[in-house]
């Protein structure tokens, strides 16, 4: 069950972006599995993709299409990753773009294909063909929640958020959806995330906003330390609001970028809260580091540790596992006496050893919570970072053992 996460409400349409979701038969359980976005001409688009060397065919093709033309459509299927499928997988991705282009009257290179699901299985092209025809007939600006459900795989809760801000006296909407629950340790973005706005944004600045937001959100989460072959995050700006063009030096640039940050952070944290089998939502906060890289090394070493994660599941204040993770994070010339460790506001370690005032009862009280902050002060500088993660439960093993069943 998701930790502190429920079905989203008040998800708003975005002028200039239509979308739809249908069940075409890729998933065997009858759930929606095909989503289509149709984007107005003249829109700008930014994207980040997985750095996994075995990138899925749709990722390869989407990156190529982005260099050729501004996107007019996104086609997303769930239930089949079209990864590890060789030349046939790439041909299938090309064919799917041609079907979309025919359905909505655009060019194939204006379509970005994206997939999520089981790796190594051929795409069922017959059902995909009929699905494209069906989904293209149901496009509407008000289908964001349906799309959030259509991209789900092992997710237990749809993930979506809407935010409105004022730009040049006009109300601007930013709406985003994401999916992800397992195979989460992004090296660019998340499993899949799609964000749309009716603001008019210069393409280079839109990419800058997305890159900055991803670094602080989707690239700061982990469930199981596995980076997917299919990760993608797409940010679309339709310009339908007819506000002045937002550029890096615009008066409203900071307002817009902060809103994108907030949307991405909410979606990224929602993925962690819905981590496969998760019973804890854990913030790992590393402070007083000498550099961002060493702060992230410490945070991720803690967040990836099976021993730390299983202690979290057991609500066991076994702080020695956390201290050991800090010690093996590879920080050169670490002065142990300068290191402090906290569970929420309970100081466990100071001066490099157990704090004199710490009690097992105080640690237990924190560990019994469903939301916990692990804070590590390295005493080396003024840099800090936060990574969000989960515990590791019996259900995680069960879910992934049964994934293809």
**Block mean pLDDT (10 aa), the chain, length 405:** 91 98 96 98 96 93 97 97 96 98 98 95 97 98 98 94 96 96 74 95 98 95 86 96 95 97 97 92 98 97 96 96 96 95 98 95 98 98 97 86 66
Decide: 235 and 46 in contact? Cβ < 8 Å. Answer: yes
Q: Where in the chain is the domain with CATH 3.10.20.340?
A: 281-401
pLDDT in the model for residue 190? 57
Range(s) of the chain covered by CATH 3.60.70.12: 17-273
The whole-number pLDDT of residue 84 equals: 95
- Residue 404 is predicted with a pLDDT of 65
Rounded to two decimals, what is the model's pTM?
A: 0.95
Instruction: Specify the pLDDT at position 182.
Output: 80
- Spatial contact of 63 and 112, defined as CB atoms under 8 Å apart: no
Q: What pLDDT is attached to residue 121?
A: 95
Please tell me whether residue 64 adopts helix, strand or coil conformation: helix
Sign, Cα dihedral of 307, 308, 309, 312: positive
Residue 172, pLDDT score:
97
Q: How far apart are CA 120 and CA 86, in angstroms?
A: 9
Instruction: Name the helix (H) or strand (E) containing 287.
Output: strand 281-289
Q: Is 190 a catalytic residue?
A: yes
CATH of 281-401, one of 3.40.50.300, 3.20.20.70, 3.10.20.340, 3.10.105.10: 3.10.20.340
CB 229 within 8 A of CB 221: no
CATH class of domain segment(s) 17-273: alpha beta
Q: How confident is the model at residue 16, as a pLDDT?
A: 98
Q: Of 50, 141, 175, 190, which residue is the catalytic one?
A: 190
Task: With beta carbons less than 8 A apart as the criterion, state whether 112 and 73 touch.
Answer: yes
């Amino acid at each position: 069950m998701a930790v502190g996460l429920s079905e989203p409400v008040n998800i708003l349409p975005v002028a200039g972006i239509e979308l739809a979701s249908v069940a075409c038969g890729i998933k065997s359980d009858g759930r929606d599995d095909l989503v289509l976005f149709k984007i107005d001409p003249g829109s700008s688009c930014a994207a980040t993709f997985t750095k996994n060397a075995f990138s899925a065919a749709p990722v390869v093709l989407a990156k190529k299409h982005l260099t050729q033309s501004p996107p007019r459509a996104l086609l997303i299927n769930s239930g089949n990753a079209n990864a590890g499928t060789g030349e046939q997988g790439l041909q299938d991705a090309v064919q799917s773009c041609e079907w979309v282009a025919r359905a909505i009257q655009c060019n194939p290179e204006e379509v970005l294909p994206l997939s999520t699901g089981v790796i190594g299985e051929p795409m069922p092209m017959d059902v995909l063909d009929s699905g494209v025809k069906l989904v293209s007939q149901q496009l509407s600006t008000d289908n964001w929640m349906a799309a959030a459900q259509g991209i789900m795989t092992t997710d237990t809760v749809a993930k979506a958020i809407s935010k409105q801000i004022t730009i040049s006296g006009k109300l601007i909407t930013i709406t985003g959806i994401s999916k992800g629950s397992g195979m989460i340790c992004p090296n660019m973005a998340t499993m899949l995330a799609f964000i749309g706005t009716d603001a008019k944004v210069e393409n280079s600045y839109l990419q800058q906003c997305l890159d900055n937001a991803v670094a602080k959100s989707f690239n700061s989460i982990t469930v199981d330390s596995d980076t997917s072959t299919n990760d993608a995050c797409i940010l679309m700006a339709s310009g339908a609001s007819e506000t002045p063009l937002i550029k890096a030096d615009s008066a409203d640039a900071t307002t817009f970028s902060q809103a994108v940050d907030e949307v991405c952070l909410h979606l990224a944290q929602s993925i962690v809260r819905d981590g496969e089998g998760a019973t804890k939502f854990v913030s790992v906060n590393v402070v007083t580091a000498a550099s961002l890289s060493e702060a992230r090394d410490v945070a991720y070493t803690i967040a990836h540790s099976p021993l730390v994660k299983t202690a979290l599941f057991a609500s066991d204040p076994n702080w020695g596992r956390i201290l050991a993770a800090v010690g093996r994070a590879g920080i050169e010339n670490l002065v142990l006496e300068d290191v402090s460790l906290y569970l929420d506001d309970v100081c466990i370690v100071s001066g490099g050893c157990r704090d004199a005032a710490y009690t097992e009862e105080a640690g237990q009280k924190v560990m019994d919570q469903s939301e916990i902050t692990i804070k590590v002060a390295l005493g080396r500088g003024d840099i800090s970072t936060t990574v969000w993660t989960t515990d590791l439960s019996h259900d995680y093993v069960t879910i992934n053992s049964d994934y293809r069943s």
